[in-house]
Structure 1
Amino acid sequence: MLKLRSSWLRAAAVLLRPSPASAAAAAQPRGHLSSGPQQKDTTFYELRTYCIRPEQNAAFLKLTNEKIHLRTAHSELIGYWSVEYGGLNKVFHIWRYGSYSQRAGVRAALAQDPSWMSEYVSVALPMLTSQDNEVTYLVPWSHLQQPPKEGGVYELVSYQMSPGGPTVWGKDFRAAIGAHDVPGYGKVLAAFHNEFGLLNRVHALWWFESADQRADSATELTRIPEWWPQVRDATPTFTCRWTVASADDHQLCFWLAVRSSATHLVSQQNQLMFPCRFSPLK
């Protein structure tokens, strides 16, 4: 046990020691990511949340399943989910637009679509208690991905970060997401940054094989190692090898990354969701 502990402390020292290149780079004032979420791409993603009257939940999902084709004829649906944990009688969906003018054109066309208005909107609206939306961009290092296979569950984790934007906390946030995105955990499909809605808010969309797999892997990944108290107060400037094969190396990287990211975190929340049968992301 003493030999194992000492080997981990040596490994921690290596990971915590900044490389000459990183030390030189740290001496130069610079932003780690762009100063804003938009980047050069005008594509954005609208995240919508609808709260449904409890007695109308099943009827709303049935109606949407039957009539969603009227809506997707106008713009691209990325995914549509029913919230199972972290909220009740809620649906969450993501729509992609190439520009604000495209979205404005879509909304105008929908308002003039008699089938959409009479067969869906007029029936669905009385079933809802509220609607909310956020306009987001993919963070600069993220790309929207497909899950490894169909089926499974999705987790949306939302983080309220301190003011300043990605230039302030982007590098640490990316490291924290990367620390979770390891073999045996889940698969991060996208990370979004709010443009409208709560500012300095980011979302990570995850896929897991099942709710139990998510619970088991989260428990294993977040267990506090016995050596952590001896390295937790070390300098936060470190170079971590995300390709290491050892599960314990992954755990060390996880705790170091989470420690750095937590200094910028104001609050967070999550919800576990099941894809609807008509959802493109399943």
Structure 2
Amino acid sequence: MLVLRSGLTRALAARMPAPQVCSSFASGPRQNDGTFYEFRTYSLKPSKMNEFLENFKKNVHLRTAHSELVGYWNVEFGGRLNKAFHIWKYDNFAHRTEVRKALAKDREWQEQFLIPNLALIDKQESEVTYLVPWCKLEKPAKEGVYELVTFQMKPGGPALWGDAFKRVIHAHISLGYSKLVGVFHTEYGALNRVHVLWWSESADSRAAGRLQSHEDPRVVAAVRESANYLVSQQNMFLIPTSFSPLK
């Protein structure tokens, strides 16, 4: 047996190349471009919701001059009430930085909306999300109502639960129980979180479709598989505002 002295071992180790880290940044596939969607939720003081939304309606053109508004909704059911939920689209993080700087210098926006209405807001929340690679943002052909379903998945990312989750979504789509608007994976915020935005013609049509899907063995089988990776789920029923691009 050949035994190397500690000094020789250290010398040989010093000559060896450092090990390379070969893991990807994300724990699963993602969109190739840098476009992301910021989910913002404002909790308004009771009785101030209508005032806030009217103020935003009058000044929305000042805000959308800087970046694209995807949709703006009232939270009708699910969690705390008096909430405004909105989605903003950015080309990349540099774009968002430019927008925030421009808004800080926009005197009209600051004086007409931001400063007068800050007192109406109790809480603000923000998440950065990407569309999953197999999904495009869809715009419904007519007005309706929306449901945001938030799934908190087990740690491991899409590499662990992505395929099973995809099968659940496709099962619902293929059977025509709901119209998919988008599936978003959180990058900043609570990780391993997926938001699914659905459109329905009305609250009653949504309820009828949900009942049908729960009785369909194909949907039930896909849901049971995905449930193995599920930690929690929350649903919010959303009513689009009059100035929301998604109606």
Q: TM-score, normalised by structure 2?
A: 0.87
The alpha-carbon deviation at position 123 of structure 1 amounts to 1.4
Following TM superposition, by how much is the alpha carbon of 1:207 offset from its aligned partner in structure 2, in angstroms? 0.1
Task: Pick closer, same or farther for the CA change 1:37–1:49 going to 2, 3 Å.
Answer: farther
**Of the candidates 178, 183, 187, which is equivalent to residue 179 of structure 2?**
187
Q: Is the 8 A contact 2:29 2:159 kept in 1?
A: no
Matching of residue 80 in structure 1 with residue 72 in structure 2: yes
Q: CA deviation at 1:40?
A: 1.8
Contact 1:37/1:195, CA 8 A, preserved across alignment = no
Tell me if 1:151 matches 2:143: yes
Output aligned runs, 1:31-180, within 5 Å: 35-36=27-28, 38-86=30-78, 87-147=80-140, 149-180=141-172
1:145-167 superposed Cα distances (whole Å, 9 cap, x missing partner): 011x2211000000000011111
Q: Distance in 2 between matches of 1:159 and 1:111?
A: 34
CA-atom RMSD, angstroms?
Answer: 1.2
Check 1:75–1:37 CA distance in 2 against 1; reply closer, same or farther (3 A cut): farther
Shift of 1:255: 1.3
Q: Distance in 1 between matches of 2:112 and 2:83?
A: 21
1:160-194 deviations in whole A, cap 9, x for unaligned? 00011111100000011112224441101100000
State the match for 1:209 in structure 2: 201
* Per-residue CA distance 1:48-71 (angstroms, 9 max, x = gap): 000011111110111011111100
Q: CA deviation at 1:267?
A: 0.2
- The match for 1:277 is 242
Query: What CA deviation, in whole Å up to 9, does each residue of 1:117-153 have, x standing for no partner?
Result: 0100011111110000100000110100011x22110
For 1:48, what is the secondary structure of its paired residue?
strand
How far apart are residue 252 of structure 1 and its match? 2.2
Structure with greater Cα Rg: 2
| Structure 1 gap ranges (5+) | 1-33, 224-250
Distance 1:97 1:35 in 2: 23
Extract unaligned runs of 5+ from structure 2. Answer: 1-25
Deviations 1:182-210 (A, max 9, x none): 44411011000000000000000000000
Q: Give the alignment partner of residue 259 of structure 1, picking from 224, 227, 233.
A: 224
Q: Give, as a single letter, the amino acid of the residue that structure 2 aligns with 1:275.
A: P
Which letter does structure 1 place at the counterpart of 2:244?
A: S
Distance in 2, matches of 1:209 and 1:146, equals 13
Task: Give how far 1:36 is off.
Answer: 3.8
Three-state SS of the structure 1 residue aligned to 2:47 is helix
Larger mean Cα displacement after TM superposition, 251-260 or 151-160: 251-260
- Give the SS at the match of 1:55: coil
- 1:92 offset after TM fit, Å? 0.6
Contact preservation (8 Å) 2:185, 2:193:
yes
Q: How far, CA to CA, are the matches of 1:279 and 1:55 in structure 2?
A: 21
TM-score by structure 1 length?
Answer: 0.76
- 1:38 to partner: Cα distance: 4.0
Q: Distance in 2 between matches of 1:150 and 1:183?
A: 20
Q: Which amino acid aligns with 1:49?
A: T
Q: Does the CA-based 8 Å contact 1:79-1:93 persist in structure 2?
A: yes
For the Cα contact (< 8 Å) 1:275–1:281, is it kept in 2? yes
The residue type equivalent to 2:71 in the other structure is G
